[in-house]
Amino acid sequence: MQSIRWRLSVYYSVALALTIAVFGAVLYLERRSSAVRERDEQLTQRIENELALIRSSIAEWSVYFDVVREEPAIGRPGDVSRVLVDGLRSQLNGLPRDLIFITDPANRPVYISRAASELDPSALQQVLRILQRSPLVTRGALALEGSGGPHRYAIDTLGGDVQGQIRAVMVAARLEGPLRGPTQLLLSMLIVSPVIILASAIMGYWLAGRVLRPLDVMVGEVEAIQDGRSLHRRLAVPPGDDELSRLGANLNAMLSRVERSFVALRRFTADASHELKTPLMVL
């Protein structure tokens, strides 16, 4: 009886552990997907807001001044380079440390933010190749070489008074920061799950004992009837129509047939001995 009880408890605990593991994995993956999507949406919104702010600043300057000026190129006598005017450049330098690139109609950079100037040369060339595409892909993701992770970017082509001076403005930001929600959920599940499984195993062991108690009583009664002198006794049948009730009823029916067989055998033995007395006395 104890072995059945233990086996039921172990099977129940294993089934519960597998159920919790599957449920936890599905919940973690869904929560992680939601957190990644939410982080992407927040980053995209930040990029769009920053891009709108840059567009507004350029539009305000273009009302009164040219936003791009020419200056002698460093290290190239006789050449000139095109850059943003100092006031607009100072205004853009005060923005958050995201990657900002502004190019002229010839696809030459006229402004690169301080964060962007710190990129590896290969990553910088990768961004410039995106800005030189025709047509431009205005929204997307990229993995900059040696920059420490994937980035999201947005590109805006400016028109109006600056159309002949600026071709595109690009803002890119890195996906960074751990996904705290899914990590905390996984940690909580790892802490709580063993407690739930242990409590469930104890409860299952107790419930198995209560369910199997009528069977234990039947086993004791059957052991008491084995001597052959207690065939008149019957098992206590549990109420209801479950497996234990049907087992008790079938055992009682079997005991009735065995009792009738024993009674018939005794009667035959008594009759046979009585009939054999007279011949034996004559002999």
| 150 close to 133: Cβ distance less than 8 angstroms | no
Q: Nearest-CA neighbor of 171 among 49, 279, 267?
A: 49
For residues 175 and 229, which has the higher predicted lDDT (pLDDT)? 175
Could you tell me where the beta strands, DSSP code E, fall in the chain?
68-72, 80-84, 99-103, 109-112, 139-143, 150-156, 168-174
**pLDDT in the model for residue 73:** 60
Q: What is the mean pLDDT of the chain?
A: 79
Which residues, 6+ apart, have CB-to-CB distance to 102 below 8 Å? 54, 84, 109, 110, 111, 112, 166, 168, 169, 170
**pLDDT in the model for residue 22:** 92
pLDDT at 3 over 80: no
**What tens digit of pLDDT does each residue of 113-146 get?**
888 888 888 888 888 888 888 787 888 888 877 6
Neighbours of 85 (CB within 10 A): 16
CA distance 261 to 257: 6
pLDDT at 178 over 70: no
pLDDT at 79 over 80: no
Local confidence band at 1 (pLDDT 50, 70, 90 cut-offs): very low
Asked which of 60-64, 120-124, 177-181 is least confident by mean pLDDT, the reply is 177-181
**pLDDT in the model for residue 273:** 78
CA distance 138 to 51: 12
pLDDT at 74 over 70: no
Backbone angles phi, psi at 83, to 5 degrees: -135, 165
Give, as one character, the DSSP assignment of residue 230: -
pLDDT at 24 over 70: yes
The most confident of 69-78, 128-137, 157-166, by mean pLDDT: 128-137
**pLDDT in the model for residue 2:** 56
pLDDT at 77 over 70: no
Local confidence band at 18 (pLDDT 50, 70, 90 cut-offs): very high
**Once rounded to an integer, what is the mean pLDDT over residues 257-267?**
78
Q: Nearest-CA neighbor of 101 among 78, 132, 75, 74?
A: 132
Q: In the beta sheet, which residues pair with residue 173?
A: 152
pLDDT at 164 over 60: yes
**Once rounded to an integer, what is the mean pLDDT over residues 63-88?**
69
| 119 close to 108: Cβ distance less than 8 angstroms | no
Share of the chain above pLDDT 70, in %: 87
What is the secondary structure of 58-119 as a DSSP string?
HHHHHHHS-SEEEEEPTT-TT-EEEEE-HHHHHHHHTS-S-EEEEE-TTS-EEEE-HHHHTS
Tell if the pTM clears 0.85, that is, is over it: no
Q: How many residues does the chain have?
A: 283
For 131-150, give one letter per residue: b (16+ CB within 10 A) or e: beeeeeeeeeebebeebeee
